[in-house]
Structure 1
Amino acid sequence: MCGIVGLFLKKDALRPKLGDMLTDMLITMTDRGPDSAGIAIYGDEHGKLKITVQSDTPDTDFAGLEGALAAAVGAPVTIRVVDTHAVLTLPLDTEAAALAFLEDRKLRVMGVGESMEIFKEVGLPKDVAERFGLRAMGGSHGIGHTRMATESAVTTLGAHPFSTASDQCLVHNGSLSNHNDMRRKLAKKGIYTKTENDTEVGAAYISSRIAEGATLGQALEGTLKDLDGFFTFVTGTKNGFGVVRDPIACKPAVMAETEDYVAFASEYRAFADLPGIEGARVWEPEPATVYFWER
């Protein structure tokens, strides 16, 4: 039993409030997942690459990281430390060199992209949100997750969202029964997962389909054919977010749409404090049906 939240803003006037709105939604889902929490924020783009990394010993690992990485990639680097995470900003064409350097340093890469930043840690959602200052974060859209671990240990790497491609990430409520078989199929394509969490397999599947030329909608439709189990997926991309539930749809889900935003949550109570919710169109997503909104 986990909690999922998502918010896609249609109007730029709400961008400064994205983190605040998502934080309230995330905390409301605490009793669905108290062991860890995470959020992906899609913020401003500046024609640069952003790499979010995590360390259990940030005082040591982040000291001197800016200069060392700049020397390794031969380009300017800026670093913004946020508790156990750091967001590194550097030129787009340095991605391969930067990721190789970070792997040598054994820093955990949470996400890569032009707009996406991912923050996740073990702990109650309210504590995780406070540690990262999520309320102050702005952007166009974001997704979040509160986890109750069932198939793997309570660790930072086991928390959601999972990202396996640039500006793409996934949160998941449910369980995949064929994730090990799918790991082998993805490995034959040169795609390797790093954790035991089945959600990372789902993320890798979706990003692999998009890399092969599928649209977001087609990739989500593919999950209904190729992934077995029960699941609600909410995936984020640079341009928007999408939702799909398995054909049985045994996991709870609800959506709300106004002129200002589209919201997703595992339970309606997560919408209670959203502006204008009293006038929203509210519905339960249909089983085996893909929904997505993009800019």
Structure 2
Amino acid sequence: MCGIVGLFLKNEKLQPELGEHLSRMLATMSARGPDSAGIAIYGSGSEDLVKLTLRAEQSSLDGDLARELGAALKAPVDLVRRSNHVVITLPRQRQPQAIAWLRDNFPDIHLVSAGSRMEIYKEVGLPERVADRFSVPSMQGTHGIGHTRMATESAVTTDGAHPFSTGDDQCLVHNGSLSNHNAVRRNLRREGFVFETENDSEVAAGYLTWRMREGDSLKQALTSSLDTLDGFFTFVVGTRDGFAVLRDPIACKPAVLAESDDYVAFGSEFRALAVLPGIEKARVFEPEPATVYAWERR
């Protein structure tokens, strides 16, 4: 099953309401995925700074972490806590050193995401409760994507929750199943990728990151995935400046898009879009198979 949502705001006046709308969209998808949920929010940021979203037991994520990391980097470090996640902001050039220091000194801490604008929050539990746990309804931003998971083939864990991020300001949510993800994973490992889970969605995210690292645009990377990734799927991909949607050539998983002057919205079912303001004025349509739909803010 699983349910996925996405919202790209064209109207800047709606940016203070991004988290509220995404949370409501996600809650409507609870029946499709009651086991875990996650949301990627693209908010404000600076090219000179990077945000590291971290997850661990609360005792590992206190103020001492920021002070110790700042002392090790000899650079200013800011920390904001949201439940058992924290967002650490530091100078971008210190990012590799910071990640290495965290792995050496706090092995129980998981790096959830990195980017100048992206923050990812995910946990087990009903989508509405997960969103409330991280105060997502109060978050502001330009766009975001979310996922509700039904763990039909694996354990219910936070590690298995979506979105998956394998590159700065890049993330993916997925509804479906890939049949050749193990072979693709082996190839990506030879390219230097490290995977935290056995989830096929993390492989899909890694593949797109690799293609873009090699010079593809997001649209080119998604088009290439149609030949490389075997299975049935709907992808919603977030980047620093926008998001994209792709269905496999058979398009057996449900998907609905809506576009108006104020926003572009995606949902696994129309009920995820019905909660949005002005939906009656939007053009609502089903995305075509094997066709990339992308929107970017330039």
Give the TM-score of the pair, scaled to structure 1: 0.98
Work out the CA distance in 2 between the residues paired with 1:223 and 1:146: 23
Provide structure 2 residue ranges, at least 5 long, that are not aligned to the other structure: none
Work out the CA distance in 1 between the residues paired with 2:102 and 2:199: 22
Percentage of pairs with the same residue: 60
Work out the CA distance in 2 between the residues paired with 1:256 and 1:17: 18
Task: Tell me the CA shift for residue 71 of structure 1.
Answer: 1.3
Question: What does residue 51 of structure 2 align with?
Answer: 50
Work out the CA distance in 2 between the residues paired with 1:284 and 1:113: 31
8 Å CA contact 2:61, 2:86 repeated in 1? no
Count residues with an aligned counterpart: 294
Work out the CA distance in 2 between the residues paired with 1:168 and 1:148: 23
Task: Tell me the CA shift for residue 191 of structure 1.
Answer: 1.3
8 Å CA contact 1:72, 1:97 repeated in 2? no
**Which stretch of the first structure deviates more once superposed, 143-152 or 159-168?**
143-152
Q: What is the CA deviation profile of residues 187-232 of structure 1, one whole-angstrom value per residue up to 9, with x for unaligned ones?
A: 1111121101110000000000000000000001011000001000
Matched, 1:84 2:77: no
Question: What does residue 24 of structure 2 align with?
Answer: 24
Supply the AA of the counterpart residue of 1:11.
Answer: N
8 Å CA contact 1:151, 1:197 repeated in 2? no
Question: What does residue 70 of structure 2 align with?
Answer: 70
Question: What does residue 119 of structure 1 align with?
Answer: 121
Alignment of 1:201-216 (within 5 A): 201-216=203-218
Q: What is the RMSD computed on CA atoms of the aligned residues?
A: 0.8
Task: Tell me the CA shift for residue 163 of structure 1.
Answer: 0.2
**Which stretch of the first structure deviates more once superposed, 57-66 or 22-31?**
57-66
Work out the CA distance in 1 between the residues paired with 2:35 and 2:111: 21
Work out the CA distance in 1 between the residues paired with 2:131 and 2:268: 19
Task: Tell me the CA shift for residue 150 of structure 1.
Answer: 2.5
Supply the AA of the counterpart residue of 1:89.
Answer: T
Q: What is the CA deviation profile of residues 90-148 of structure 1, one whole-angstrom value per residue up to 9, with x for unaligned ones?
A: 00110001110121212100100000000000000011011000000000000000000
Match of 2:171 among 169, 172, 178: 169
Alignment of 1:1-295 (within 5 A): 1-46=1-46, 47-55=48-56, 57-104=57-104, 105-106=106-107, 107-295=109-297
Supply the AA of the counterpart residue of 1:54.
Answer: R
Task: Tell me the CA shift for residue 63 of structure 1.
Answer: 4.5
Matched position secondary structure for 2:252: coil
Provide structure 1 residue ranges, at least 5 long, that are not aligned to the other structure: none
**Which stretch of the first structure deviates more once superposed, 223-232 or 102-111?**
102-111
Work out the CA distance in 2 between the residues paired with 1:151 and 1:239: 33
- The list of structure 1 runs, each at least 4 consecutive aligned residues, that deviate by more than 3 angstroms after superposition, is none
Matched position secondary structure for 1:252: coil
Matched position secondary structure for 1:192: coil
Supply the AA of the counterpart residue of 1:230.
Answer: F
Give the TM-score of the pair, scaled to structure 2: 0.97
